[in-house]
Structure 1
Amino acid sequence: MVAELAADAPLAGAVRTPLDLWSLRQVYVGTGADPGKLTDRSRFPAAADITRHLLDHLVGALLGTSPPGRRCWDAEDAARWLSWPVHQFRHAEVHDHLARAEVVSGADRSPNPLP
């Protein structure tokens, strides 16, 4: 696995930021799963594929490691709940509305013209 951390390997590109490393730790170390499959270049040909895989499994890993005595949500329910706003934003064309709001709020903050 160390060889896969070479500069041109997908795994090396997928763990360059603290968030990426934290995700890897939560999904694999925290659950006791074997991260060796991340070195399979046929399954993960690019760093983005590894990142997507880690993010896809992050909610389940976090919910599956709740401390004793704390309520544990079902991972599938939580993933569905967390994905709902994303779908709403995509379908409501929120990007256009946000862009217009930024232009308007930016205009409000412009300096007053000199008398």
Structure 2
Amino acid sequence: MSSFVVMVKLSEEQIFSFNRLMLGWITENKHLSKALTRFDHLIVLNSKALTFDFNGLSLDYQKKFVLNNFELYCTSLFLAIKPRMKVFVKNEGFRAYDFHCVFVLGNLRHERTEKVSTF
């Protein structure tokens, strides 16, 4: 009995749709919106990874929330957007999708793969 994983590659249109969905979520989040110095890079999906770039957050916000426990903040932010990600995955016709996540702030970097499933 053999098992294999089929890696689905998202189209440019799907990536654009995902990024628009995340930008909408960021804009609706009053705390993040207020802390952002640039809106176009906080959560961005490309063909290689889902990148969370915290360098665009104000230094005050970084010190208060992100730098205390970087990995915990990464997990918390991922969990906050996961419901929207589930909607995206379902709307694209997938039962589940593995996102390679890269979290970045200055010299800090954390990577992991997160499965988002609709069941």
TM-score, shorter chain, exceeding 0.5: no
The structure richer in helix per residue is 1
TM-score, normalised with respect to structure 2: 0.26
Which TM-score applies when normalising by structure 1?
A: 0.27
**Comparing both structures, which one devotes a greater share of its residues to strand?**
2
